[in-house]
A = this chain, B = another copy of it.
Amino acid sequence: MAESAGPDPAVVLAELVGGERVASDPDTLARFSRDHWPLAILLEGAGRPADRPACVVRPRHAGDVAAVLRWASETGVWVIPYGGGSGVCGGAGGVRGAVVLDLRSLGRILEPDRDALLVRAEAGVLWADLERQLTERGFTTGHYPQSIDLATVGGLVATGSSGQFSTGYGSIEDRVAGLEVVLADGTVLDLPDRAPRRAVGPELMRLFIGSEGVLGVITAASLRVLPLPASRSVYSHAFPRWEAGVEAIRRVLQAGWRPVLTRLYDPLDAARSFPEHAPPGRAVMLWASEGPAERVRAEREAVDALSRDLGATELGPDPVVHWLEHRNDVQLWYDALAMGVLVDTIEVAANWGRVDALYAAVRAAIEGVAGVFYVACHASHAYPQGTSLYFTLAARPAEPDPDGIETLYYGVWEAAMEACVAAGGTISHHHGVGRVRRRWVAAELGPGLDVLRRVKQVLDPRGILNPGVLLP
């Protein structure tokens, strides 16, 4: 075990970064022992809490992070980078004896560069705070993940996040223009935003986007922003069948339109999400167009026409308005977990041509697991090449004890992942791998996994960074 090799990390680190920056009281250790991983929450409720770290360090700047990592690389102590803790795949927490870096302490936002539409923020800034500050100045990131109120800049970069308007504005890789990353040996890597594009070797920033903390610790990011759009139009349709809605998204995007929001709910998800608006048995599509008014108008007319061709009827703006108001409410989720019910989400993706089969296969696979009583789906991040599918499920373990919970949880995930791989989809669209998807990374990456391991080996030779995450 890494922690048995030397003296108490809390004592050593207090000398390195100051005693007031290091905590090892039980409440703090408990708080940083897990993120929003449903399995960890359920197990905690059933009396099997997550492993506690040794201590929690709140760095003041990249220099503090570098000092901690240098020491950890020398001693072999594990280090867990921890952002907002909103991850749902077990990517942060739960390693006995590890040092947790509570990166919320890196909270500065610089004034945006109004010429180049860039803003620099430290890793611990909550994305919602960044967005609020930008909105006051007439800008937006265009990136609105459901976790926006909880998640940090660093966390959203490290996990490869997508926002709800990704169809128009892209995902986190389209927002990041520069990164500051601290490597395991303490090197502070400033990957600058000095041009919008370059051809000077492979773009190294991409090594850290989606790296889930195993290749380095992100301490700041330079992000592309947009002027607040000149106009917005929200509209919605009911489709006779889910597959007709899927086809509508494909036709709209392949015709060259880019609604910022394309969000299709299957009948069950629609009934739950829009009880007042969804016609029974229909799929419901939410759209939003943003930008110059003339383009928004033309786009909406084109989308309406393409949708009508596929049998859609207009539902007006109300379902979108309702969704915009309630889109980030997750209280029901906590309530259910507190009652011992597994509620979880599994997002996958595929190219058009495989989407319908992926939908049917994953849905059937989850429904086939004993204890599952609800499976619904929406398609919320679309591309000319394909779309994501976002399954929401609820299930009750046969036995409410830790073993029963694990059996149910891994049963659901194994069924969904195996069905996804067999149907030719990708195992994660934007939640990342964390701990739960590790087993299927080899199926996804093939020999690429070995490349990832080799990169890990040279960037973190002692393997101190976020053990147990991403790499099987």
- Is A85 part of the contact surface with B, judged by Cβ < 8 Å? no
| Closest beta carbon of chain B to A391's beta carbon, Å | 15
- Is A339 part of the contact surface with B, judged by Cβ < 8 Å? no
| Closest beta carbon of chain B to A432's beta carbon, Å | 5
Give bound CA distance, A298 to B295, whole Å.
6
Chain A interface main SS type: loop
Give bound CA distance, A220 to B291, whole Å.
38
Q: Is the CB of A291 within 8 A of B200?
A: no
B-contacting 9-mer, from A12-20, A125-133, A350-358, A367-375: A350-358
Interface string of A442-467 (1 = CB under 8 A from B): 00111110111011011100000000
Interface of A toward B, CB cutoff 8 Å: 113, 115-118, 159-162, 171, 173, 177, 183, 187-204, 206-212, 215, 224, 226-227, 229-230, 250, 254-257, 290-292, 294-295, 298-299, 301-302, 348-353, 381, 383-388, 424-433, 437, 441, 444-448, 450-452, 454-455, 457-459, 470
Whether A113 contacts B429 in the complex (CB less than 8 A), given A197-B162, A386-B195, A458-B458, comes out as: no
Whether A199 contacts B432 in the complex (CB less than 8 A), given A351-B118, A426-B194, A447-B189, comes out as: yes
Task: Select which of B162, B191, B212, B385 is within 8 A of A177 by beta carbon.
Answer: B385
Contacts A190-B447, A196-B349 aside, 7 further interface pairs with beta carbons under 8 A come to A115-B250, A160-B198, A195-B426, A196-B386, A201-B433, A203-B210, A207-B451
Whether A200 contacts B445 in the complex (CB less than 8 A), given A116-B351, A385-B117, comes out as: yes
Task: Select which of B199, B447, B459 is within 8 A of A451 by beta carbon.
Answer: B459
Q: Which residues of B contact A203 (CB under 8 A)?
A: 173, 206, 209-210
Could you write out 23 A-B pairs with CB less than 8 Å apart? A116-B351, A118-B351, A159-B199, A173-B203, A187-B450, A195-B426, A196-B383, A197-B388, A197-B429, A198-B428, A199-B432, A200-B427, A200-B444, A201-B433, A204-B445, A224-B384, A226-B256, A226-B384, A227-B254, A229-B256, A256-B290, A294-B302, A454-B459
Q: Is the CB of A291 within 8 A of B388?
A: no
Give bound CA distance, A437 to B200, whole Å.
9
| Closest beta carbon of chain B to A428's beta carbon, Å | 5
